Amino acid sequence: MVNIVRQIDNWVKVQRVLVSVSDKAGLEGLIAGLIEINPEVHFYSTGGSYNAITAILGPEKTPRYLTQVSEYTGQPEMQGGLVKTLDFKIYLGLLSETYNEAHRADLARTGAVPFDMVVCNLYPFEATVARAGTTVEEARANIDIGGPSMIRAAAKNYLRVAPVVDPADYPELLAFPRAHEGKLSLEKRFELACKAFALTARYDAAISSFLATRHRAELASIYTFMDAGNVSQG
């Protein structure tokens, strides 16, 4: 059954922030600004983003303000960082409607927390394929899975969650809650959601467009087939 929501909070305080960024430009200012606005804010992060935030906060502040996603979920990252955030507790926190009694029960049952903001930008697929001589394998390695999933989940739940996908938006983003007691309005969250869906649509279009230009014969030139005895094509 589809959940149709009628009553929500217009203003949502930014208290729990999920951060996973490929482009770390402006991250220091964003982290410091959110802490200044709400000293009770807490960040959850992965991989290189976690390391970057640790460096920003320093050893004294890190335990107070930052939790590694693998510690939160209880699952280590997959080798190569292929799976970091694709976890039930993460998506429960992104998609839960905290006005929904059953959703609140799910949060309590799993020990999950509702996220109020997702700060995420994607692997640089377009920049990778813009380089001369980029192979299909190099392009494939730069197809982001967890990032678009988090962005889409946060954008779908703009009822409560703010998806932040562009470092250029950080200064304006900080100015808004600074002027409104640390809170974001439904209108602002909706605006961010529209930009988020536009980003994931453009990202998928870039992947589709690149792959459509490559001939299947190219695959044989970059991969060594382990099943060399199987000559069937398909």
Per-residue model confidence as pLDDT tens for the chain (234 residues): 777 888 888 999 999 999 999 999 999 999 999 999 999 999 999 989 999 999 999 999 999 999 999 999 988 776 666 667 778 999 999 999 888 888 889 889 999 999 999 999 998 899 999 999 888 989 998 999 999 999 999 999 999 999 999 999 999 999 999 999 999 999 999 999 999 999 999 999 999 999 888 877 777 778 777 765 555 554
Number of domains composing the chain: 1
Which ranges of 16-167 would DSSP assign to H, the alpha helix? 27-37, 47-65, 69-73, 88-95, 101-110, 125-130, 136-141, 146-156
Q: Report if pTM > 0.75.
A: yes
- The verdict on residue 5 lying in a domain is no
CA-based nearest residue to 148, from 207, 79, 214, 213: 207
Strand partners for 44: 18, 67
Write out the residue range of the structural domain in which residue 32 sits.
12-222
CATH number of the domain within which 169 lies? 3.40.50.1380
Q: What is the pLDDT of residue 230?
A: 55
Any idea of the CA torsion for 101, 66, 56, 179, to the nearest 10 degrees?
30
CA 148 – CA 152 distance, rounded (Å): 6
- The verdict on residue 115 lying in a domain is yes
Pairing mode of beta strands 183-184, 12-13: antiparallel
- The verdict on residue 229 lying in a domain is no
Any idea of the CA torsion for 62, 64, 66, 71, to the nearest 10 degrees?
110
Return the CA Rg of the chain. 20
Q: What is the pLDDT of residue 47?
A: 87
Q: What is the pLDDT of residue 229?
A: 57
Residue 159 DSSP SS3 = coil
Q: What is the pLDDT of residue 215?
A: 76
- The verdict on residue 171 lying in a domain is yes
- The verdict on residue 228 lying in a domain is no
- The verdict on residue 234 lying in a domain is no
- The verdict on residue 84 lying in a domain is yes
- The verdict on residue 231 lying in a domain is no
Q: What is the pLDDT of residue 201?
A: 97
